[in-house]
């Protein structure tokens, strides 16, 4: 598959995924029952699956792999942190303060992921 096409799919999926996370996080924080909408429960999983598939395809096509490239390793570690924090932020039965802090921390983690992707530097080009 064409590298540029896969890259664009990856970028679009990342934007949609982050947007859906923000929408769900804001609704969760505001106490709105976002789980009533089936598409808000299912769409993120479909988009994230496509996003991961595009990421793996890009790594394979470019021969750039985590561990071998520190910026990719940083993205993967930050992604795991983002997933964990996002899970806490959107989970039922978690205190409002913990949910909100987890939501903000997840946004910081995903911001770091985007920054690393743009700069291709684990230090965001600051060092």
Q: Is 43 inside any structural domain?
A: yes
Residue 127 counted as domain residue: no
List phi, psi (to 5°) of 70: -60, -35
Q: Tell me the longest C-alpha to C-alpha distance in the chain.
A: 46
Q: Residue 19 domain-assigned? A: yes
pLDDT by position in tens, the chain (length 127): 799 999 999 999 999 999 999 999 999 999 999 999 999 999 999 999 999 999 999 999 998 888 888 999 999 999 999 999 999 999 998 888 999 999 999 999 999 999 999 999 999 878 7
What pLDDT is attached to residue 88?
96
pTM, whole model, 2 decimals?
A: 0.91
Cβ-based neighbour number of residue 27 at 10 Å: 16
Given this model, what pLDDT does residue 125 score? Answer: 77
Q: What is the pLDDT of residue 61?
A: 94
CA angle 94, 100, 103 (to 5 degrees): 100
Domain count across the chain: 1
- Residue 124 is assigned to a structural domain of this protein: no
> Would you say residue 125 lies in a domain?
no
Cβ neighbors of 121 (< 8 A, separation 6 or more) are 71, 127
Domain that holds residue 13: 3-119
* Cα distances (angstroms) measured from residue 85 to each of 41, 52, 104, 106, 109: 17, 18, 9, 5, 9
In a domain, 28, yes or no: yes
> DSSP labels for 54-74?
HHHHHHHHHT--TTTSHHHHH
pLDDT of residue 65: 80
């Amino acid at each position: 598959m064409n590298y540029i096409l896969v890259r664009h799919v990856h970028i679009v999926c990342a934007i949609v995924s982050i947007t859906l996370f923000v929408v769900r996080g804001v609704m969760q924080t505001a106490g709105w029952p976002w789980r009533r909408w089936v598409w808000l429960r299912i769409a993120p999983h479909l988009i994230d699956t496509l996003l991961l598939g595009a990421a793996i395809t890009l790594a394979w096509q470019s021969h750039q792999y985590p561990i071998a490239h520190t910026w990719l390793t940083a993205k993967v570690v930050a992604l795991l942190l983002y997933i964990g924090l996002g899970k806490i932020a959107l989970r039922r039965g978690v205190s409002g303060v913990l949910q909100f802090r987890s939501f903000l921390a997840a946004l910081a983690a995903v911001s770091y992921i985007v920054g690393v992707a743009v700069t291709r530097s684990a230090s965001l080009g600051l060092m």
